[in-house]
A and B are shown apart, each in its own frame.
Chain A
């Protein structure tokens, strides 16, 4: 496996694409709550100050006021940290944006343990559970620059609320510029026949590391990037599982009520296969460096490889 290091984190690429779209589309506005340097929304502000509103450190008010503007027919992009927008403003998102199906799009940065260094108060490790559970909400998690730029376009062009989880730090480039992405799509990033690793976001890279490790042990893993978590690509998973007959879901999120629960229940109801779910095991994480923290909590490539190997042994 050989990927170029990314120059920018997905949060920045998303904000850059938002700014570029703002050049040709003057109809949408951007709301921020005093985290412009963390969400990179300042890039949009510098270019389009008349369509940018910093609402102060006030997440509920920011989200609810966005709902008000959206109710008037305007598209609003709300920028923030995953923990603060999804949890503080949850009721406003559910009842006043998703229920009336308003055009509010969320740039949600610092997803999962990518904010490891700041500690648990800043780690969005339940956001996917909250956001995928609300009816009408769409959820995207790009893993690299090409998919992050595409995620903004999908969010803006899809009617209704769309939540995009983004990462704090740059990782690796997985896709070329010609690649296309769509709502409900996925990408098979590595073909294999022994086991399917379904994953998203920063865990795509860790899963690819795991696949390299597994190859040394004679296990041929298929890795699928589910950059669209809701809706998600059931056909591609079904096809992969027909071939491999074993499912691992790896995510930087609580295991409970994450994408793993969704995918596992779906396979259980359709075509049960031996399954392993990798995520935070009903625990809070801690402050620390990103690589040490994901390894300590079982989310690193080697940890994914070990659990996957154990599952494959069971299958055989």
Chain B
């Protein structure tokens, strides 16, 4: 991978935008091939996942277990297509393997299982439990090993309904986990409807501030904003965990999927697949 720190800020943004579109195309392709999987929340997370994996995180694909690497936990594990795509394109495993998503004998399970694939730092799929694991990973890094690698975790805005999120947040504040960065993908849709319809959760910023987090906000699809905000999160050393509110659009990048509840967990047919790829290519 080219070293992004040699590039100007604008060049980094351009590069990441292109990568994010490439990841989106892989997501659509994987779910189409499997005829099963979660596109909507993968596309909403694509931009900040690209920024983390292709610019900000310290990683070594040739040595996925490198002790000092930054960690990443996809707590909303159903959107693992975007995680798998990022890992493959970043070189953790062959890109061709993406086609095996959800198939028998594949390492790309329907929900991510840590030991199955290089680069997966924790298993997920049952909402809430990934975040609690991220807190444990951050405790090990900061309190036991006394290292300064970061632990990034991505949560759904519906996922934060789960009580375990609030329990583990209290612990993150108690243990002053400023190595923990929790990104909440605020696409305003969960499974049965909008947040307001299913479980009113706003104001999310005040809730996390009250829990003891430093709260940052970004437009999750404005790469300059994403990069600036996540660089700030990366530098955090205030003694508080960081919570980044990413305002996003579920299904981002494919016109007929954007903001559509239906596209939470649906596979495209051939015509939809062709149109989706064309739209993503056009924007790339």
Contacts and interface: CB of A to CB of B under 8 A. Distances in A.
Given A37-B192, A57-B190, A117-B36, A122 B163 contact: no
B198 A34 contact: yes
28 contacts: A34-B191, A34-B198, A37-B191, A37-B192, A55-B199, A56-B158, A56-B198, A57-B161, A57-B190, A58-B162, A58-B199, A60-B163, A117-B34, A118-B102, A118-B110, A119-B102, A119-B109, A119-B113, A119-B125, A121-B77, A121-B110, A121-B125, A286-B109, A287-B102, A287-B104, A287-B109, A288-B104, A293-B104
A56 B113 contact: no
Contacts of A56: 158, 161, 190, 198-199
A163 interface: no
Classify the interface of chain B: helix, strand, loop or mixed.
loop
Interface in A181-226: none
Contacts of B163: 58, 60-61
A5 to B, nearest CB: 20
Interface of B: 34, 36, 77, 102-106, 108-111, 113, 123-128, 158-159, 161-163, 190-192, 197-199
Contacts of A34: 158, 161, 190-192, 198-199
Interface residues of A, number: 30
Nearest to A35: B191
Contacts of A57: 127-128, 158-159, 161-162, 190-191, 199
A130 to B, nearest CB: 15
A288 B103 contact: yes
A218 B170 CA distance: 66
The 3 A-B pairs at the shortest CB distance, nearest first, are namely A56-B199, A121-B125, A119-B110
A303 interface: no
A42 interface: yes
A273 interface: no
B198 A54 contact: yes
A118 B101 CA distance: 10
Contacts of B111: 118-122
A266 B150 CA distance: 55
Classify the interface of chain A: helix, strand, loop or mixed.
helix
A117 B192 contact: no
A292 interface: yes
Contacts of A84: 126
From B102, B123, B190, B197, residue with most partner A Cβ within 10 Å: B102
A126 interface: no
B162 A117 contact: no
A95 interface: no
A32 interface: yes
A117 B198 contact: no
Nearest to B201: A56
Interface in A260-316: 286-289, 292-293, 296
Contacts of A54: 192, 197-199
Contacts of A32: 192
A120 B36 contact: no
From A34, A35, A122, residue with most partner B Cβ within 10 Å: A34
Contacts of A289: 103-104
A154 interface: no
A140 to B, nearest CB: 25
Contact of A292 (B34, B104, B108, B110): B104
